[in-house]
A and B are shown apart, each in its own frame.
Chain A
Amino acid sequence: MFDEGAPIFSQIAERLSEEIAEGVLAEGERVPSTNELAAYYRINPATAAKGINVLIDGGLLEKRRGIGMFVAAGARERLLETRHQRFTERYVEPLVAEANRLGIDAESLVALVRESSPAGGGVRV
């Protein structure tokens, strides 16, 4: 269920962030407890707690005493902002590097991007 190459706690944090960014977990919504995560993923509860703590420390989750953990206000926006910042290094740079290797020039690359249609709709920009 987990990638062997990275600590489980960071993968838990990553998955929850993903769900918040996608809006699956809405702001103000309760997130699964440490114990629920431990039981579902069959992992040590201390590991699950460490994953949750990453998000609490990052201000994405807030603890309400005795009730549980909730998605903090503004969490989604902040996650999307981080993704924007990483977009260049994660996607554009490798894309351009590979295009250079294959001898695809800038104009053709732009054309390819325009024509690409992940969900059939093409680029909306």
Chain B
Amino acid sequence: MTPTISVSGLTRRYRGQLALDDVTFDIDGPSITGLLGRNGAGKTTLMRIISAQEFASAGSVRVLGSSPVENGAVLRRMVLVREDQTFPRLRVRHLLRAASWFYPNWSSGLAEGLVADFNLPLNRNVGGLSRGMRTALGIVIGLAARAEVTLFDEPYAGLDAVARQLFYDRMLADFTDHPRTMLVSTHLIDEAADLLERVLVIDHGRIVLDAAADDLRGAATTVSGTVDAVEEFAAGRAVWDRRSIGSQESVVVSGVLDDGDRARARQLHLSLTPLSLQQLVSQVPGRSNQDLKEDQSA
């Protein structure tokens, strides 16, 4: 079967600087995939190239089996919502109507519900909307389009925590009823962690981790206690990070811990705290996918 999104050897250079460096991955069928990484890691460039708003220096992108570049048939089946999206200066109502003509799976019912949820003024001109309202408008279009390929690039500008939760809830609900391929980039990782089925971590233009989100839970643990006890526990394990103060030490060990490990930690009076996805992702750059997988199976 053809993957929904297939990215192969994708490289993008800007004046000698590598924004994307040999990026390769496939996304197959309906899922919510998180594209995680720091600002400037290459998330936006990758999404823009997937949706043909920018071009590759080398490598290829195929969406729904074809190149998306100047391919109206494919572009109608995908939607990209960007951070700080700009819109034509129209009334909100007219903008939504225009979107409904463009996207073949458009749901007016969903759009109306979302407009009410986010309190969007239908008769106001887009130019008069606050930053958060423009973001919400992007979310309305991104979800109501029900496009087979839905890309959200940090749709958070001006949204507070309550509005972001509303976005996650509505996205999850509509995804459940109408499964589709969603790629969501975010640096607010812990907020979105439980929604994700798969995680792609990008750093300096390279994919440094590609894993099932559930496999990453418990993949690394902070172990703290007295230096001697911590060193005894950590011996023979991959240690990612080490800090100490006086007789106390705290290390991050990678690899899933079993019941025997936990019992040993209790005996040594160590405290174990699993890393959250956010913490894990910040530890990953500098380690290859291969290292991480080897550590996990060790």
Contacts and interface: CB of A to CB of B under 8 A. Distances in A.
A8 interface: yes
A1 B191 CA distance: 12
Nearest to A89: B259
B214 A4 contact: no
A42 B176 contact: no
Interface residues of B, number: 28
B150 to A, nearest CB: 15
Contacts, number: 61
B194 A42 contact: yes
B172 A4 contact: no
Interface in B195-239: 195-197, 213-215, 217-218, 221
A6 interface: yes
A47 B266 CA distance: 31
Chain A interface size band reads 20 to 34
A66 interface: no
B275 A4 contact: yes
A44 B195 contact: yes
B169 interface: yes
A3 interface: yes
Interface string B47-75: 00000000000000000000000000000
Contacts of A35: 176-177
Interface string B142-157: 0000000000000000
Interface string A1-31: 1111111110000000000000000000000
Nearest to B32: A44
Of listed A3, A6, A44, residue having the most chain B CB within 10 A:
A44
A38 interface: yes
Nearest to A1: B194
Nearest to B266: A94
Nearest to A42: B194
A41 B173 CA distance: 12
Contacts of A3: 274
A7 B197 contact: no
B176 A39 contact: yes
B103 interface: no
A99 to B, nearest CB: 14
Given A4-B275, A4-B276, A44 B217 contact: no
A46 interface: yes
Interface string A31-55: 0000100110111111100100000
A39 B171 CA distance: 10
B217 A38 contact: no
Nearest to A47: B214
B31 interface: yes
Contact of A43 (B173, B195, B218, B276): B195
Contact of B213 (A5, A6, A44, A94): A44
Contacts of A2: 194
Interface of A: 1-9, 35, 38-39, 41-47, 50, 94
9 contacts: A1-B194, A2-B194, A35-B176, A42-B169, A43-B194, A44-B196, A44-B213, A45-B179, A46-B197
Listed from nearest, the 3 A-B pairs whose CB atoms lie closest are: A5-B274, A7-B214, A4-B274
